[in-house]
Structure 1
Amino acid sequence: MIRLLIVDNEKHIVQGLHDVFQQIGGLELDIICAYSAQEVIQWLPRVKLDIVLSDIRMPGMSGLELQQLINEQWPHCKVIFLSGFNDFDYAQTALRNGGFDYLLKIDGDHKVIDAIKRAASILSKELQREQLIENAKEQFYLSMPVLRKDFLLHLLEGQLASYRTLAQRFEELDIRLNARAPVMLVLGRIDHWNESITSKDQSLLLYAVQNIVEENLIGYSLIFVVYDRSKFVLLIQPKQEGMDGQTSPELIEKTVRFIDGMMENIQDTCKELLKLSLSFVTSRRPYDWEVVPERFINLKSLMTWGLGYGNEMLITDECYELSPDNAVSQNKQYASAVLTPVKALQLHLECGKKSEFFESLQDFIEKNRKESSYYVLSEIYYSISLMFLSYLNRLNLSEIIAPQIDINKLMHLEHHATWDDAVQYLNETAVLLFSWQKIKQEEQKLHIVQRVNNYVETHLGGDLSLTKLAEVVYLNPSYLSRLYKQISGQGLSDYINEVKFNKAKMLLEHSNMKIQEIAHAVGFESKSYFARFIRSKTNLSPQEYRDIQMNKQVNEKR
């Protein structure tokens, strides 16, 4: 998906171009409308911009001045200028400063559409698959990443050294991160490996993904660590820090917004060039190294929670209200041989990994069946029972499930005749929990669709851009677009047009509002583009449609 922002102080021009671009075939556009440079400045930190179509002369700030601000925040953005004046000096300055094209407003829609298509084509070709794979082959045979990976995985698992030792190890392993400064975490995942891809090819493609990530996040200190055959973590810091390692709030905010925006670009590039589907979960602020292991565990849980069945996710750790588990445990690990496998079971349960859960449970039980004492077996049983009880409470399922599992047995090992009976009870309880988890996830996905639909229906005359709707449900715009269609079976833009059309029909048939007033009520600034919209649906102008419906109503009353 390509995000296009149109800015002009003349509203009818913006609305007209918006309606024209909605009809372009072969391009999936998320269109944002702005009516001043100041309004664009407000959008800059909110979303990644791919193409900007800007008037070159606007009150308060010229298009040339605005271009500089756009390129500072989104250096890959293509800026196309529109002007009502054939001014060679303006055109020369615009192109010299990195503008993509300079068009006259009198040139006609076809030239503007052509410029948008050319900009979109260049955006998609800036990264070439062959070069990425070649760079990946070079990195693959380096030995240093292996040592780096081993150290960083230990660090993420909680084996944190002192600052002095950490800084020393960073230097030894050429880890270009600051041990004094906080760090951003991003978790990524290859959603699915084709069965024909060998283990060697998987490693090679992961290095290609790394190359894409590094090219998109150039200007930041970045470490890419693979922690199993399909998952990786990014540790990111801005390079502009103070001598004491402190980072300004402004730089932190800029970093967070930039990373959030570029994850979408990385995802799209990997899908196009490498034919890989990726998911990302990002932290919304940097964290001190002491709490990185805890945040890493939380992000892993969010990664596999399962919005849209967990494919092509783009979510952040702000998305807690959409998660079945929005409380992060602050308890420290205690010294027990039981804790690690129970933690693994808990993670499998919370992430919806049913097969992994039962495989781990069986392995855990079998390893302790014969050699463990009664007290160890009791600890195993009650640790798993408490995990189940906690999960039931967080999802408000205790009252619902209690009659189905005889919940009294959950906290009373002695109520089971044998250890095998107790194990069977735990297995049956887990089966029930996974069934309810799937029901809850389906309900949550339907809730997202309903929330978007409600917003559309109550804001027809306002901003219904994909970016705005994504903010309403705390999701990435591209991810929301895919998720909405997956859940509802209908594209979001198609639904918006359907609601607009139904509302327009109702007002034309049953109100005395003027055509211009109805157009505004359903989100059209221009009466002519509203007429074009109605004609595309009915082959009639709005007035013709109204007259026909009025005549029908008169005839029915006779």
Structure 2
Amino acid sequence: MNNILLIDDEPVIVESLYNMLTRMEHLELIIWKANSAIAGLEIMKNNRIDILITDVRMPGMSGLELIQHVKQQWSRCKVIFLSGYSEYEYLQTALRENAFDYLLKPIDDEVIIETVQRVIGEIETDLRMHDIMTQTELQLQKAQYLLHKDFFEHLLYDNHLTIESIAGYVQTLHIPLDLEHEVIMMIGRVDRWPQDYRLKDKLQLQYAINNIVEEYLRETCQIVSFTEDRYVIWLIQAGSSQDLTHLQWYINELLEKIQQSIRQYLHLPVSFVLSKPNIGWLQIHYTYKEMSEWIQRGIGLDEGIILVEQADSMLSQYSEQELLPQDIKRNLNQLTNLLETGDKATFHRTISDFFYVIQKAVFIDYTLQLEIFAHLSVMLLSYMNTRKITRSIEIQLDLKPLSNYGMHANWSAFEDYCSRLADMLFSYAEGEKKDQKQQITDKVDAYIIKHLHENTSLDHLAKTFHLSPSYLSRLYHAEKGVSLSERIKLLKLARAKELLSVEGAKIHEVASELGFYNVSYFTKFFKKNMGIPPQEYRQNNS
């Protein structure tokens, strides 16, 4: 979806543009409007703007002055100027400021629609797949990859790291971050890889994801990245003119566009978790652990989600003991991740391979056998306890074998037990996902009914329920079988008919009750959907 802002000091023009573009549902626009440049700037402070349509001459601040502020806030914003004047000076200034187009009033609807469609086309082609993959190939050829990998692994997993050792890495690798300032951490997860992708394909696409993220963010901050299994991890610092709190908000506003670009050019669903805006360098280890749990447990049930940690969130304290040889521990961590993310097929394939390797090691130490048994048992028990489903599962399967190694005749028997239990957990997770989606859409319905007289736009509802607009739109349509806009329309019509049936009902009061602050718009809305104006309906039904 693209956010478009309409600015003109003539309300009739703004409303005409707003109504015309609202009807163009196929363009997938979130539309904002303002009657002055100052009011438009206030909207831009709190919302990403992709397309700006503005008058040139306005009292207080002209459109030409406004564009300077726009480029500082949203550098990728495309600007279309409207003017009743064809003066060469205005046209020359607009072109110098890289305006997308300069349209003379009065403007036909067809011209506006065609221009907006061209703008959207240019936005979509800004990041071409060819350029992305070219950069990816160059990055794969770069040296120092192993040192970079080693540095990040220490940051993420070593809770005994010191500032001095971090400084050594930063200096050696020329990492463009300042140890005297805190960072924001962001994790991106590829929710689902195509089955035929090889390791090299995945590595290339993870680099491509990073290139897309950096394309959006590099102008406003310092950023370094690292790939870890299904994750891409970024450490981000603000530029000289920004604080981290504002930077976190700015990144959050862009994440939906980043997701759309990744989906369009790479055909991959990606979820993001964004940390609170004040992570110290020695906190990175703990922050990564907590964010990993979020991305596994909080968004493991679906694709394309964005989670943002608020500044007052508390980090849990972790202590890690190196219990197993690194290769075995890596396999156990992978199994945990696959269970949490609901990847059933890969989980069964991985656990089968894991037990095959263990059974080949005939002389494996007994205490190490117990350790492996304990880790697998804890993994399964932790999953059940976190979701409070232990008793429900115990009705279907005896859980005592999770605490008694001797109850299993051999590793094959234990593998079979783990696989059967995992199947039950995957089935539960699928049911839970459906329940969660239904709960969200039911809450959206309840909110709309209660707030029909207030703002019920997609953007407002998405912010209210802490979801991205595109995800909420897809989720609602999939669960309810009707678009969110259609549902709101039907609810408003039903309420309007109810209010108009009351004796003495006044049209302007009914309009206000339904969030229409202009009676003529309410009249058009009602007549378009009911075939008669509200006055006639009131006369027929009062």
* TM-score of the two chains, using structure 1 as the length reference: 0.81
What is aligned with 1:46? 46
Q: How does 1:356-367 map to 2 (within 5 A)?
A: 356-362=346-352
Question: Aligned residues: percent identity?
Answer: 32
Q: Tell me, in whole angstroms, the C-alpha distance in 2 between the residues paired with 1:412 and 1:443.
A: 34
2:322 partner letter: A
What is aligned with 2:307? 315
What is aligned with 2:421? 429
What is aligned with 1:457? 449
1:529 correspondence with 2:521: yes
Listed one character per residue, the Cα deviations across residues 201-231 of structure 1 (whole Å, up to 9, x for unaligned) are: 5554444443333222222222232323x54
Q: Tell me, in whole angstroms, the C-alpha distance in 1 between the residues paired with 2:96 and 2:78.
A: 13
1:397 partner letter: I
Listed one character per residue, the Cα deviations across residues 279-302 of structure 1 (whole Å, up to 9, x for unaligned) are: 333224242222223333433443
Q: Tell me, in whole angstroms, the C-alpha distance in 1 between the residues paired with 2:183 and 2:345.
A: 34
SS in 2 for 1:44: helix
Q: Tell me, in whole angstroms, the C-alpha distance in 1 between the residues paired with 2:496 and 2:181.
A: 55
One of 337, 344, 347 as aligned partner of 1:347: 337
CA contact (8 A) 1:315 1:476 kept: no
One of 482, 503, 514 as aligned partner of 2:506: 514
CA contact (8 A) 1:73 1:258 kept: no
1:32 correspondence with 2:24: no
1:331 correspondence with 2:318: yes
Indicate the larger mover: 441-450 or 404-413: 404-413
Q: Tell me, in whole angstroms, the C-alpha distance in 2 between the residues paired with 1:290 and 1:109.
A: 57
CA contact (8 A) 1:31 1:466 kept: no
* TM-score of the two chains, using structure 2 as the length reference: 0.83
> Could you list the runs of 5+ residues in structure 2 that have no partner in the other structure?
none
What is aligned with 2:458? 466
SS in 2 for 1:143: coil
Q: Tell me, in whole angstroms, the C-alpha distance in 1 between the residues paired with 2:332 and 2:129.
A: 42
**Greater RCO (CA < 8 Å, at least 6 residues apart):** 1
Q: Tell me, in whole angstroms, the C-alpha distance in 1 between the residues paired with 2:468 and 2:288.
A: 21
2:165 partner letter: T
CA contact (8 A) 1:86 1:104 kept: yes
Quote the offset at 1:450 in angstroms.
1.6
SS in 2 for 1:480: helix
Would the alpha carbon gap of residues 366 and 434 (structure 1) be closer, same or farther in structure 2, given more than 3 Å must change? same
SS in 2 for 1:175: coil
Would the alpha carbon gap of residues 456 and 80 (structure 1) be closer, same or farther in structure 2, given more than 3 Å must change? farther
What is aligned with 1:272? 264
Quote the offset at 1:413 in angstroms.
5.3
Listed one character per residue, the Cα deviations across residues 302-336 of structure 1 (whole Å, up to 9, x for unaligned) are: 3354859533333334699xxxxx99753311231
What is aligned with 2:121? 121
What is aligned with 1:447? 439
Indicate the larger mover: 162-171 or 356-365: 356-365
- The alignment of Structure 1 onto Structure 2 pairs a total of residues equal to 535
CA contact (8 A) 1:515 1:542 kept: yes
1:403 correspondence with 2:399: no
SS in 2 for 1:48: coil
Would the alpha carbon gap of residues 168 and 484 (structure 1) be closer, same or farther in structure 2, given more than 3 Å must change? same
1:299 correspondence with 2:300: no
Q: Tell me, in whole angstroms, the C-alpha distance in 2 between the residues paired with 1:523 and 1:37.
A: 25
Quote the offset at 1:73 in angstroms.
1.7
SS in 1 for 2:27: coil
Would the alpha carbon gap of residues 36 and 315 (structure 1) be closer, same or farther in structure 2, given more than 3 Å must change? farther
What is aligned with 1:176? 176
Q: Tell me, in whole angstroms, the C-alpha distance in 1 between the residues paired with 2:12 and 2:513.
A: 15
2:166 partner letter: L
Quote the offset at 1:259 in angstroms.
1.7
Would the alpha carbon gap of residues 496 and 128 (structure 1) be closer, same or farther in structure 2, given more than 3 Å must change? same
Would the alpha carbon gap of residues 110 and 13 (structure 1) be closer, same or farther in structure 2, given more than 3 Å must change? same
Q: Tell me, in whole angstroms, the C-alpha distance in 2 between the residues paired with 1:194 and 1:365.
A: 25
Quote the offset at 1:484 in angstroms.
2.7
Listed one character per residue, the Cα deviations across residues 87-128 of structure 1 (whole Å, up to 9, x for unaligned) are: 887776666555545557754544544443343233223333
SS in 2 for 1:182: coil
Q: Tell me, in whole angstroms, the C-alpha distance in 2 between the residues paired with 1:195 and 1:422.
A: 28
Q: Tell me, in whole angstroms, the C-alpha distance in 1 between the residues paired with 2:56 and 2:530.
A: 38
Quote the offset at 1:28 in angstroms.
0.8
Q: Tell me, in whole angstroms, the C-alpha distance in 2 between the residues paired with 1:209 and 1:422.
A: 39
Q: How does 1:4-43 map to 2 (within 5 A)?
A: 4-7=4-7, 14-24=14-24, 26-34=26-34, 40-43=40-43
1:350 partner letter: E
Would the alpha carbon gap of residues 194 and 390 (structure 1) be closer, same or farther in structure 2, given more than 3 Å must change? closer
SS in 2 for 1:433: helix
Q: Tell me, in whole angstroms, the C-alpha distance in 2 between the residues paired with 1:192 and 1:350.
A: 13
Would the alpha carbon gap of residues 428 and 140 (structure 1) be closer, same or farther in structure 2, given more than 3 Å must change? closer
Would the alpha carbon gap of residues 226 and 125 (structure 1) be closer, same or farther in structure 2, given more than 3 Å must change? same
Q: How does 1:44-193 map to 2 (within 5 A)?
A: 44-54=44-54, 66-81=66-81, 96-97=96-97, 99-101=99-101, 106-107=106-107, 109-145=109-145, 147-158=147-158, 161-193=161-193
2:509 partner letter: E
Q: Tell me, in whole angstroms, the C-alpha distance in 2 between the residues paired with 1:308 and 1:498.
A: 34
Q: Tell me, in whole angstroms, the C-alpha distance in 2 between the residues paired with 1:161 and 1:256.
A: 26
Listed one character per residue, the Cα deviations across residues 492-541 of structure 1 (whole Å, up to 9, x for unaligned) are: 22222232233223333446433333233223333333333233323333
CA contact (8 A) 1:183 1:287 kept: yes
Q: Tell me, in whole angstroms, the C-alpha distance in 2 between the residues paired with 1:197 and 1:404.
A: 37
What is aligned with 1:555? none
Q: Tell me, in whole angstroms, the C-alpha distance in 2 between the residues paired with 1:275 and 1:404.
A: 39
Would the alpha carbon gap of residues 312 and 17 (structure 1) be closer, same or farther in structure 2, given more than 3 Å must change? same
CA contact (8 A) 1:306 1:441 kept: no
